Amino acid sequence: MASRLRRHRRTKIIATIGPASSTPEMLAQLFESGADVFRLNFSHGTHEDHAARIDMIRALEHKFDRPIGILADVQGPKLRVGAFRGGRVQLQTGAEFQLDLNPAPGDTRRVNLPHPEIIAAASIGATLLLDDGKLRLRVLRKREDHLLTEVVNGGPLSDRKGVNVPDVVLPIPALTAKDRADLDFALERGIDYIGLSFVQRAEDVAEAKAIAAGRALVMTKMEKPQALDNLDAILAASDAVMVARGDLGVELPPEEVPIAQKRIIRAAQLRGVPVVVATQMLESMISAPAPTRAEASDVATAVFDGADAVMLSAESAAGQYPREAVNMMDRIVARVERDEDWRRGIDAKRPDPEHSSADAIAGAAWQVARTIGARAIVAFTSSGASALRVARERPDCPVIGLTPSVETARRLAAVWGIHALVTDEIHSMTEAVALSARIARQEGFVQHGEEIVVVAGVPFGQSGTTNALRVAKA
């Protein structure tokens, strides 16, 4: 069995797998290069494809004796226009264009919009964006069966291109029939996170959590302006969040996206909700062996902001250089985290503890570890909550998360600074301290005689009882 890999950085890396990375050999290369969590994109591929990938990831986990998280990202509702005669038209800026319920092929004057809920919810003056925002329409008139619009920004439009409605909360559930079937499959296969698309309200998250029923955590994708309007309620309902900048950038002006990113990260940090920054991070590495300097700076910004993880999409799923992309992200993250300004910035954003004994213990662990120069904080955790609370403090030293649950260890693979391991159940603080010292030495975090901080809940085996702190020598 290979030795366990230890990451020399705190920010985690999520790599999407697809046609370019779906062999055991490539998955092993991605993991060794730095991937901590693998994302399955259910917008593409069959259940058989994803089943094979899950099996490969679990085999990799066994080979390296390290927990690996799996994120199953469901597609969500896709709003699209219908088809055109000839497959394509050119819309002229300033012209009128009708979107209606008539299924007949469209032309330069009209096209089918097979979504009566958009027609019902839109108002005069509302904006509709077509083809990822390349075309912009403004509603001039509304009837039960159509919207008459003015073409504000024209251009070519072909069959079944996407429709975005940034000004309107649509009465559409975040989960489609396809999503529900995908979720049933993924949950049966033991994935760790559900990526939830098209979230507008906290109720969308609650629906997914009810389906998951504790079998996986829900990572809410922040990709609609309406979600930003309901940010606090959505964060309260979510287990984790993703700043999905590609879709967010369609419905928000480009200059608003960096502001939204910082706002979401900060709000998530205050709540102790893990937050991922995603989309177009090393986009040019789909077809080039090195990123642009702007892309390297973009990844660095997410790390400086304190995101728990950064994510690769097409770069690792369909690009020509999947291993190089993961390796490059690993190098950028590790370099930023060696910078003094990074540490100062992380400390400046450290949230105040909440008024609970568990948060008091986590805050004390941060303070004690810094004061004595501890080499690691060891957090015993059943559900993951204790380790999450310690990670929220963003301590100087690594956090070793020890849990008897492999599911918890896999979920912690996406959380800032946590080196998660599966251990046997323990029954006393004396046993916990001895185990902590031994594992911290074995994993290379400490030398014999160096100090560690141990955080646990007494009595052991009960979730949500973090109430004890010890300082020990390894």
Residue 249 identity (one-letter amino acid): G
- Is 279 assigned a catalytic role? yes
The four Cα atoms 327, 330, 336, 338 give a dihedral, to 10 degrees, of -110
Residue 31 identity (one-letter amino acid): F
Q: Which residue in 9, 10, 12, 39 is the catalytic one?
A: 39
On whether the CB atoms of residues 369 and 395 are closer than 8 A, the answer is yes
Q: Which residues does 20 contact at the CB level (< 8 Å), separation at least 6?
A: 26, 316, 317, 318, 319, 320, 322
On whether the CB atoms of residues 332 and 438 are closer than 8 A, the answer is no
On whether the CB atoms of residues 316 and 326 are closer than 8 A, the answer is yes
Q: Which residue in 10, 110, 136, 221 is the catalytic one?
A: 221
Phi, psi of 224, rounded to the nearest 5 degrees: -130, 140
Dist. CA 140–CA 133, nearest whole Å: 19
On whether the CB atoms of residues 277 and 310 are closer than 8 A, the answer is yes
Phi, psi of 195, rounded to the nearest 5 degrees: -90, 115
Dist. CA 63–CA 27, nearest whole Å: 12
Dist. CA 150–CA 143, nearest whole Å: 15
Outline where 170-241 has alpha helix (H). 177-188, 202-212, 225-229, 231-237
- Is 221 assigned a catalytic role? yes
How many CB atoms sit inside 10 A of residue 48's CB?
Answer: 8
On whether the CB atoms of residues 12 and 33 are closer than 8 A, the answer is no
- Is 110 assigned a catalytic role? no
Backbone Cα Rg of the chain: 24
Dist. CA 460–CA 381, nearest whole Å: 9
On whether the CB atoms of residues 363 and 453 are closer than 8 A, the answer is no
β-sheet bridge partners, residue 472: 452
- For residue 113, which of 93, 143, 133 has the smallest C-alpha distance? 143
- Is 11 assigned a catalytic role? no
Q: Which residue in 11, 16, 127, 279 is the catalytic one?
A: 279
Q: Which residue in 7, 58, 80, 263 is the catalytic one?
A: 80
On whether the CB atoms of residues 423 and 439 are closer than 8 A, the answer is yes
Token output for 384: 């993951």
Residue 28 identity (one-letter amino acid): A
On whether the CB atoms of residues 393 and 455 are closer than 8 A, the answer is no
Token output for 355: 């008024």
Residues assigned a catalytic role: 39, 80, 221, 279
